[in-house]
Amino acid sequence: MQRKQVKTNSLPLKKINGDKAEQLAKQYLEKEGLIFIERNFLCRSGEIDLIFTDSKSIIFIEVRFRFSSERGSAAESITKSKQNKISKSALYWLKDKKLELSPIRFDAILFDGEICKHNLNWIKAIF
């Protein structure tokens, strides 16, 4: 069964939920002591939702939200194909910033159900 996209203020619900999840993830990670670098980096290979540093590594964060488990969990939505896109985008970002030799890590902030801090799951080094 296909879900109907509901629009609020001319934006699709998926975009509104994505922005909300990314903002909550950003706030959470900042409270955890990470230093924010960039949000929604786009290139030909794909997009990186959030980029942070912890003074040791550059951390590329994928934010995923699943309202229901009908199509799998938020973690399951980070497929090999998605991982490849994130990796290629990260390499492009590192090269562009002349940081190719920096230690890196790929983390995920996952929301299964409502987008709130109680449903936030941070997985470090997810791939």
> Is the residue at 38 inside a domain?
yes
Residue 10 pLDDT level (bands cut at 50, 70, 90): low
Domain that holds residue 17: 9-123
AA identity, residue 126: I
> Is the residue at 2 inside a domain?
no
> Is the residue at 4 inside a domain?
no
What is the CATH classification number for the domain harbouring 24? 3.40.1350.10
What's the structural domain count of the chain?
1
Please give the model's pTM, rounded to 2 decimal places. Answer: 0.86
* Segment 19-69, tens digit of pLDDT: 999 999 999 999 999 999 999 999 999 999 999 999 899 999 999 998 877
Q: What angle do CA 123, 105, 20 make, to 5 degrees?
A: 50
Chain mean pLDDT for the chain: 90
* Segment 88-121, tens digit of pLDDT: 999 999 999 999 999 999 999 999 989 999 999 9
> Is the residue at 71 inside a domain?
yes
